[in-house]
Amino acid sequence: MQQVAYKYSESWQDKVELSVVEPRVRKVVKTKTNQHRKILVKCGLLLFAYAVLLVFLCAESASLGYDIDNLNKDINKLTTANHRLEYQIACYSSLSRIEKVAVNELGMQRADLNNSIAVKLEAQPVQVASRTETTNLSEKPLHKIYTSLSHLAQNSL
């Protein structure tokens, strides 16, 4: 126990002077960068991006040109097929072909002006189903129309 033998009496009243610690000064070393070099790098990257964009747009316009050319070829083919179909329709609907098919394939004969037959049919009245209602038939509009049409049909024969 050596601590007991030590005298503290003199030292406790003495003023202790604290030494002031001076802050360390760091030296900041600035490296000089070339500002022109930074600008040139940025301009170079911008120019490269612009060139890539131009190449992309040129390639896209070329592929669209090929697509347009293919579509024009398809339009020409379809127009030709349409004209061909119109010609076939005109050939099939011509009166000379219809007459030839009627005579040869269907066995029809050409009509002669000297050889005509008229058939007179006697008109038979059509019977209309009656309802269970007891109303005057002459007042119904459909009955009036029917009677006037049958009267016209009898007069035309």
The reported pLDDT for the residue numbered 66 is 96
Residue range 54-74, pLDDT digits in tens: 999 999 999 999 999 999 999
pLDDT of 19 strictly over 90:
no
Asked if the model's pLDDT at residue 147 lies above 60, the reply is: yes
> Given this model, what pLDDT does residue 137 score?
54
Q: Which of 131, 33, 117 is closest to 143 using CA atoms? A: 131
- The pLDDT-based confidence of 138 (bands split at 50, 70, 90) is low
Residue 9 has pLDDT above 90, yes or no: no
Strand spans (E) along the chain: none
Structure tokens at 94: 């011509």
How far are the Cα atoms of 150, 155, 156 from residue 122, in angstroms, in the given order?
Answer: 12, 11, 11
* Cα(59)–Cα(65) distance, integer angstroms: 10
Domain ranges in the chain are 35-109
